[in-house]
Structure 1
């Protein structure tokens, strides 16, 4: 009996987290990342300001750097308008 109540509570909490999670556009991610590069504030303060986890910021950092490295190596074709 206790297990089903615990599972339903965990499910309820997961649903709330999923429904209240912020979804950032690529442009928003880049702006937040660039703000972090300027180092005017700490990463912790930046993450609090934008309500993101520091691990998320560093994941975006890694993605941004990897994409830049691929582009500089010529591994990615340039988009044309």
Structure 2
């Protein structure tokens, strides 16, 4: 019994150490091939040597990430540094306009008094 467990653990260790690791680019390429529909998902899985469950998990994750990204792009957050910077610039411009208006009024009053 212990010999069987020992053998199983050795096989698991070997599988774990020799497991193929896919980069993000490879995963995207595989998922996009499946989304094109030119080849069946099972055919792609056989060719790439992955389980169909893994392909479908990658596909779901890919679509969810895209959905989240698109939702984030349409809902702009008001606390980003860009928005804060624009608000500060807007305040400075308003102050400048107010100062120019005040100077303009002072000049008009002074020229009216001369004539």
TM score, norm. by length of structure 1: 0.83
Runs of 4+ in 1 over 2 A off after TM superposition: none
Q: How many residues end up aligned between the 2 structures?
A: 73
CA RMSD in angstroms, aligned pairs only: 1.2
**1:70 lines up with 2:68 in the alignment:** yes
Q: Which residue of 2 aligns with 1:25?
A: 23
Structure with the larger helix share: 2
Kindly name which structure, 1 or 2, has the bigger radius of gyration based on alpha carbons: 2
> How far, CA to CA, are the matches of 1:8 and 1:41 in structure 2?
41
**1:42 lines up with 2:40 in the alignment:** yes
For structure 1, the residue ranges without an aligned partner over 5 or more in a row are 76-81
Q: Please give the per-residue CA displacement for 1:7-64, whole angstroms capped at 9, x wherever unaligned.
A: 1111011012112211000000000000111111111110010010000000101110
TM score, norm. by length of structure 2: 0.60
Higher relative contact order (CA 8 A, sep 6+): 1
